[in-house]
Amino acid sequence: MKRFQKSYVIFSIMVFLKMALILYFGLLILQYPLIGIDVEHKNGKWVVGQVYDKGWASKNQIEKGDIIQAINGIDPGEHKTVARFNYVEKAKSITIVDQQANTNTYAISYKDVDIQYFMYLFLPLLLCLATFFLGLYFYCANKEESSAMILICFLFSLGLCYLSAPVSARADLVGRMTVTVTFPGSLVLLIHFLKSYFSKHHLEFVKDRMINILYIAYFLVLTSHFFFNGEPRAFTRMVELGFFILLVCLLLFLLARLYYKYKHSEGKTIIQILLTAFVIAFSPFIILYAIPHIFWGKGFVSAELASMFLLVIPLAFVYLQRAKKLFDIEFLLGRLQYYALLSFALTTFAIIILITVFDMKILSGSAFLFFFLFFIVAILFLYIKEYIDYRLRHHLFCQKNHVEANLHNFFQKAKHETKVNGFIASLLREIKEVLRVKEVHYINIQENKDLNRWIVKNQQEFSFSEEIEQVNWRNCHPGSLIEVQTGFCVVIGEHYHVKEIIFCGLKKYKTTLNIQEKIWLENIAYFSSVLLENFKLIEGLFEEIEHYHKTRQNENDSYPSWLSRLLFSLSEKERMNLSIDLHDTILQDQLQLLRDIEAIKTKMTDPYLKESMYHVKETILDNIHLIRETCNELRPPFLSELGLIQSIQNLIERVKLRSNFLLHADLDPTIQRMVPEDELTVYRVIQELLNNAMKHSKASEVSISLKKINRGFMLSYIDNGIGIRMSELNDSFKTMGIYGIKERVRSMGGKIKIESAQNQGLKVQILYRQGDNEIDQSVNCG
């Protein structure tokens, strides 16, 4: 509670201070335009030393060397900004004697410098208010977190820094003190916040010692202002800008290092968004103002203009706070490389035209500013164009052939094909209908290394084989589009030194394919190659099964082990789907019906109806229990979570509750995890043995033993039931359970031994060793 009160007091003070400064700075900017005159005291006179480009003085032909006679009707030396900083600012009128000895008195107003309203008031005020309300929002949402208070300090500091900069340029003491404190301090607070934020998520952004060093360096920069006044202020300005550049570089380096360290974690997208936002926000100020100011004493653009991109920072924080789904930053950055290359070429061409036509100097600030702004606008235009193309593609492009719709429709129809020839015939028809070409052919070509060329294998069906054979197809893969004299060839398959291609003749009037049609043809060829390969695998599978049936020695032969494994895998998948369907539909309906009966029962007063409703409720409870048991049998519960031994133990406990025989179980707890398919096989075998014992054996005592052996296990089952005739073991219709057990054991590569006789019980022994693949010799029915 005390901590909450303390943070509330601190936050209230910050809010009051920021609102007071916003009001003060806003009124001062509204009242006084930026004049932009630097004066020197020479021979008892105040002489204009420098006139700044963006101020009121540059718009009124005031030049270096003019004499300031009066400011607001009084001696210039008595004006506060002149006496304190040698700047002529915060004045309503000024009297000047020019170099031709003409005396002029000017009334200073925004009439000739309307752009200052936008540059020095609207944009800074917009950012300042945005950071202010964002700080209020973060305080209301996360008032108890220390990192939130650091973030709020950073946002308030950033907004005040931007708004106080034009006030500082007007030689206001409060403005200069504010910008001096907030300019480097905002970045130190940002690094401190990120350290606290990432630490909360167990990510090391920067060590505590580094934060302490940054604060010490920050206070050293502040103290430099107490030792340098007047002319040496240029040095302190260089120190401020240099320290700011170092902080930005450190911030970007730390974020980049954090990204590469945790690029495989879920938080990498947030790091990427922050890194991109900070690069966009700080790069223009550093490149266009800070670095040129350090080396040449003047930025390419004004600090206010270069700082416009700081608006990106509060927008990024708002997005991260509010967004439930993050946009794909990697996709945007990947596009940025391509768009930047196009924009750079276009911007370079544009700047060359300007230099040639308008005789603009290439190293001038206006040329550099134009290059930068044109470059940024071009990149944004390409992003916007891509979005508009996607939204309006049905209206912008010719839909005569509906190539995109046909691509989707074709694969919807192709999923019903099962044979290679049928699929290829459908593909040829689709290409001919969509592209409106005269002819389409399916061709096989084979490499002849002796002749060092490719030969068309089905020349009798195709009359353009010569120009096809002249192409070197070695490096052409599925989806590759090759243009020949009489049409187009696209690869749809390859196998060793054989290529499968589709030849398309020219369209009507012998016109070539347009870009959209080429893209469509490449896409349909590539995806068709995948389907074609699968169709061939399926056909090969059917042919192998058919060949196996034809070569069977007798009716008692079992399926190959790989086929058994496949069939069991498909069966388990269907069991799982059925279990999910039962659980999500019938079971939920029964539970809802049970709740409805409970609700109706509470409203009943008739004892007979209550008794009847009770019996209905019990019946529904029995049905729910039965459905759950069925779901458990269809899909072994928690087999992957609990492991094989615990799952079998749970199965045995359920069997004990339902059976009328004594069940002894000896399960070796040292058996470790096996392949999931093998674990499921063992579970199903034991489940089937116990089901047979309950349904058919009429046994009074059953024993199950599962022991670990070298590289495997041994499973033993013994009961004292009625047994079975050994002659019936291979009859899958009479002993479906035993037959299924044998096939399951064979599919996993195990050996099974079955001993039984009429009224002498049943004994089953299963041996499995990892790596033992002699499956076909593994069945030994005693």
Domain 644-782 fold? Heat Shock Protein 90 (3.30.565)
Residue 636 burial (CB count, 10 A): 23
Q: What is the mean pLDDT of residues 43-58?
A: 83
On the question of pLDDT at 202 being above 80, the answer is no
Query: What does the chain come to in residues?
Result: 782
What proportion of the chain, given as a percentage, has pLDDT over 90? 4
What band does 736 get if pLDDT is binned at 50, 70 and 90?
very low
The domain 35-112: what is its CATH number? 2.30.42.10
What are the residue ranges spanned by the domains of the chain?
A: 35-112, 145-324, 328-396, 403-541, 555-635, 644-782
CA distance linking residue 73 with residue 52, whole number of Å: 23
CATH code reported for the domain at 403-541? 3.30.450.40
According to the model, what pLDDT value does residue 104 have? Answer: 87
Give the residue carrying structure tokens 């380096």.
253
What angle, rounded to 10 degrees, do the helices at 329-358 and 268-285 form? 20
> What digits encode the pLDDT tens for the residues 328-386?
556 666 677 778 888 888 888 877 777 777 665 554 555 666 777 777 788 888 878 87
Q: What percent of the chain has pLDDT over 70?
A: 77
Q: What are the pLDDT digits (tens) for 114-126?
A: 565 566 677 788 8
pLDDT of residue 772: 55
For residue 214, give the nearest of 177, 248, 179 by alpha carbon. 248
**721 against 604, higher pLDDT:** 721
Q: What is the pLDDT of residues 503-538, one digit of tens each?
A: 888 877 677 777 778 888 888 888 888 888 887 877
Q: Give the global pTM.
A: 0.52
Q: How far is CA 359 from the centre of its chain?
A: 47
Q: Which long-range contacts (CB under 8 A, 24 or more apart) does 626-629 make?
A: 627/582, 627/583, 627/586, 627/587, 627/590, 628/587, 629/654
Q: Which two tokens stand for residue 630?
A: 């069925």
Torsional class of 476: left (φ above 0), alpha (ψ -120 to 50), beta (otherwise): beta
